[in-house]
A and B are shown apart, each in its own frame.
Chain A
């Protein structure tokens, strides 16, 4: 465990300057990933830690049909928001299915998006082969214990899972990340924010060193939208997903007018499934359509013996939540 300099940032500009100008500086928010990987696992070794938890990036505000969520809002705070409960209920469902209350009181929305994988091979520096931790070293997980790993966006280079529940709903909603750099601000849709590992699993998203996630903008679902989040896991609570699905549908006279679909527990990134949406759009509500959508969502999977079961599990998870949200719509 390497010693580090601790600095509490006073404002956004100085925080960004402190990290941008120092390749060995990291941000610290809720700490549930950063402190774990730094002090306990020895995977992250910053020389400078810039604590951003007291920056004014915590508010949740509504502007018309867009909800702006400060990156430092906690998971519990977002779950308790009235607009979320009324207009984005599956965000609340995904949040409350995550972690524990203690962790949700600490973990921030920005940190949830930027959380690192739970892959045990990544988190154990004693394991030599990890392309994410040590580029070019190989992947121990593809021939290891891989029950909690990804099948979509995966390859022999890396099968590390992005374990967020919240992000599954966020990518389904086309949420947009607001980013502050040393020079400029920019906006990036979350569907383009995460980067599929390919042969560079160490590159996880579009952020450049020092860029700070300041807020997430979420467009509210139109009234009447049927949405839901289903998480399938080894325990009834306090466990990561084996498979999960977030869906939002609008239905007119038994026909699906619009569909948003994303999968969790199976992707190297939070997995939007446009192929499934294309199957659903314009189709009648029904079991055959749901199964066809599920087949389309998972058609291009990469499995190892430990993850092979997830192909069928992910399909059934998606079918189940589609059945649940469309109940009584025909």
Chain B
């Protein structure tokens, strides 16, 4: 918590926030400047969500807010009060991997792995949006997730597989 809790003119700079993350509610008191990304990583210790550029350019921090993919680095935690947030830690079902996680492993959809949680969260949303109809469509609607290792061909293959359009493993 920042040592400064008031503005220069005496207004509180802290906020009470209830974050519903991966199905469980957490009540937090935060500095108003804390982003959703920093609340997840530094306060809730959910470090699966990655901080890449921290400026809305790379997609590594992608999470779902009320089911829609957003960038947690440009979202204030205060804005998410009462909202449902899903992170990479919340994808597994009955202790098993989510089908998109499974497909990324089978297609080797990563190299260093840093962008992978963001890629997977974005891909999960992409499938829900119905935008995995072709390689071209996947490339267009995954373009907000940068992979500096260049694993794009395998990422696209993993998403096509998860969409049920490609049985190849």
Contact = CB atoms under 8 A, between A and B. Distances in A.
B137 to A, nearest CB: 11
A105 B31 contact: no
B35 A35 contact: yes
A32 B55 CA distance: 9
A11 interface: no
Contacts of B54: 40
Given A51-B78, A102-B70, A238-B144, A5 B11 contact: yes
Interface in A222-264: 236-238
Contacts, number: 96
B68 A105 contact: yes
Contact of B76 (A31, A48, A99): A31
Contact of B129 (A28, A49, A101, A236): A101
Contact of A36 (B55, B69, B78, B143): B55
B117 interface: no
B56 A32 contact: yes
Interface of B: 2, 4-9, 11-13, 15, 31-33, 35, 54-56, 59, 62, 68-71, 74-76, 78-79, 81, 122, 125-126, 129, 131, 139-141, 143-145
Nearest to A105: B68
Contact of B143 (A31, A39, A106, A238): A238
Contact of B32 (A6, A40, A103, A238): A6
B169 to A, nearest CB: 27
Nearest to B144: A100
B140 A103 contact: no
A127 interface: no
A101 B144 contact: yes
B144 A31 contact: no
Given A5-B11, A48-B7, A48-B11, 14 more contacts: A3-B2, A3-B6, A4-B13, A6-B76, A31-B74, A47-B9, A100-B144, A102-B59, A102-B70, A102-B71, A103-B74, A106-B71, A106-B74, A238-B144
